[in-house]
């Protein structure tokens, strides 16, 4: 899946605008529920281009736009969108600060980073702070559309390349994966797999027919056995462990 952060360049903007004609609004008999989106980027021209592009998709509704991190946070708190499309580098609180503030108040919005940054540590930090996906500004529009839909469903949205960079940046994941997963019980393995799929505790409990508190207790044991520091690292350890066993 994906997230986009960083400064917009004209070349990236031209890629978006030149592709607008390809994505015409089509009449669909069974339209899915509306996905309400807030766009946060300090470049007005890019925001307007994104609004025009997203309007080609019948289920997308842009309900707000922000040019600063503070405004983005306030809009999310006021309107509770399904997806926050967030640039990482903005005035009055950057994207990382916005993620911290949303986590502090417990806001569940699915945040998708849209960035031009090529720094893998930016990706890792964004994910550790709660971003659900990341898309590069150079990606074609259909990748952004797919990522928005995935994040709105509660899934993670990172491209294979980004995922590999994130995994590479978590230095001790492979060592942990080599012995951490084998210490888990069958139930704990099931929960770890669902975490890797991006599911929340309540959703995991529903899937496995157990209470949310029981899920939390199992997660405490899983984190202890695997050495994972957070859900992202647990997901990476789980997927690496599966790959090793395959």
- 197: domain CATH number is 1.10.10.10
**4 located within any domain:** no
Q: What residues contact residue 61 under an 8 Å CB cut-off, 6+ apart?
A: 34, 35, 36, 37
- 160: domain CATH number is 3.40.50.2300
pLDDT band at 7 (very low <50, low <70, confident <90, very high): very low
Q: Which residue has the higher pLDDT, 158 or 37?
A: 37
Residue 53 is predicted with a pLDDT of 96
pLDDT band at 105 (very low <50, low <70, confident <90, very high): very high
Taking the CB of residue 172, how many other CB atoms lie within 10 A of it? Answer: 11
Residue 19 is predicted with a pLDDT of 38
Strand partners, 134: 113, 158
**51 located within any domain:** yes
**177 located within any domain:** yes
Mean pLDDT rounded to a whole number for the chain: 80
Most confident of 63-72, 189-198, 219-228: 63-72
Domain interval for residue 178 = 172-245
Separation of alpha carbons 180 and 183, rounded Å = 6
Domain ends where: 167, 194, 218?
167
What mean pLDDT comes out for the span 57-75?
96
Residues 94 and 138 in one domain: yes
Taking the CB of residue 246, how many other CB atoms lie within 10 A of it? Answer: 5
Residues 50 and 104 in one domain: yes
Residue 207 is predicted with a pLDDT of 93
How would you list the strands of the sheet with 83-86, edge to edge?
A: 60-66, 35-40, 83-86, 110-115, 133-136, 157-158
Residues 145 and 177 in one domain: no
Residue 156 is predicted with a pLDDT of 86
Residues 182 and 142 in one domain: no
| Three-state SS at 9 | coil
Taking the CB of residue 155, how many other CB atoms lie within 10 A of it? Answer: 16
**90 located within any domain:** yes
Residues 158 and 180 in one domain: no
Residues 136 and 91 in one domain: yes
pLDDT of residue 166 exceeding 80, the answer is no
Residues 104 and 139 in one domain: yes
Residues 41 and 88 in one domain: yes
Residue 168 is predicted with a pLDDT of 64
Residues 78 and 117 in one domain: yes
How far is CA 159 from its chain centroid?
Answer: 11
pLDDT of residue 38 exceeding 80, the answer is yes
How far is CA 122 from its chain centroid?
Answer: 13
Domain ends where: 148, 167, 186?
167
Joined together, the tokens standing for residue 195 give 């975490």
Residues 100 and 222 in one domain: no
Residue 24 is predicted with a pLDDT of 31
Number of compact structural domains in the chain: 2
Joined together, the tokens standing for residue 1 give 């899946």
**2 located within any domain:** no
**88 located within any domain:** yes
**5 located within any domain:** no
**1 located within any domain:** no
Strands 110-115 and 83-86 come out as parallel
Residues 57 and 107 in one domain: yes
Residues 108 and 212 in one domain: no
Three-class SS string for 125-136? HHHHCCCCEEEE
Q: CA nearest 7: which of 94, 130, 111?
A: 94
Domain ends where: 147, 167, 187?
167
Joined together, the tokens standing for residue 2 give 């994906």
Separation of alpha carbons 63 and 37, rounded Å = 6
Q: Which residue has the higher pLDDT, 113 or 126?
A: 113
pLDDT of residue 155 exceeding 90, the answer is no
């Amino acid at each position: 899946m994906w997230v986009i952060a960083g400064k917009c360049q004209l070349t990236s903007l031209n890629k978006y605008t030149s592709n607008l004609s390809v994505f015409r609004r089509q009449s669909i008999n069974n339209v899915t529920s509306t996905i309400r989106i807030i766009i946060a980027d300090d470049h007005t021209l890019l925001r307007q281009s994104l609004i025009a592009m997203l309007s080609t998709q019948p289920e997308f509704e842009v309900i707000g736009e922000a040019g600063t991190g503070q405004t983005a946070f306030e809009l999310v708190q006021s309107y509770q969108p399904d997806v926050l499309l967030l640039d990482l580098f903005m005035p009055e609180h950057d994207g990382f600060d916005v993620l911290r503030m949303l986590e502090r108040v417990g806001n569940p919005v699915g945040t998708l980073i849209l960035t031009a940054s090529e720094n893998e540590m930016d990706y890792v930090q964004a994910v550790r702070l709660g971003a659900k996906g990341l898309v590069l500004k150079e990606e074609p529009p259909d990748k952004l559309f797919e990522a928005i839909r995935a994040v709105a469903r509660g899934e993670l949205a990172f491209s294979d390349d980004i995922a590999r960079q994130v995994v590479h940046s978590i230095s001790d994941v492979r060592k942990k994966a080599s012995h951490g997963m084998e210490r888990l019980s069958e139930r704990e393995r099931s929960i770890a797999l669902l975490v890797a799929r991006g599911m929340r505790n309540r959703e995991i409990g529903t899937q496995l027919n157990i209470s949310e508190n029981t899920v939390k207790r199992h997660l405490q044991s899983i984190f202890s056995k695997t050495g994972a520091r957070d859900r992202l690292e647990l997901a990476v350890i789980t997927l690496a462990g599966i790959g090793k066993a395959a």
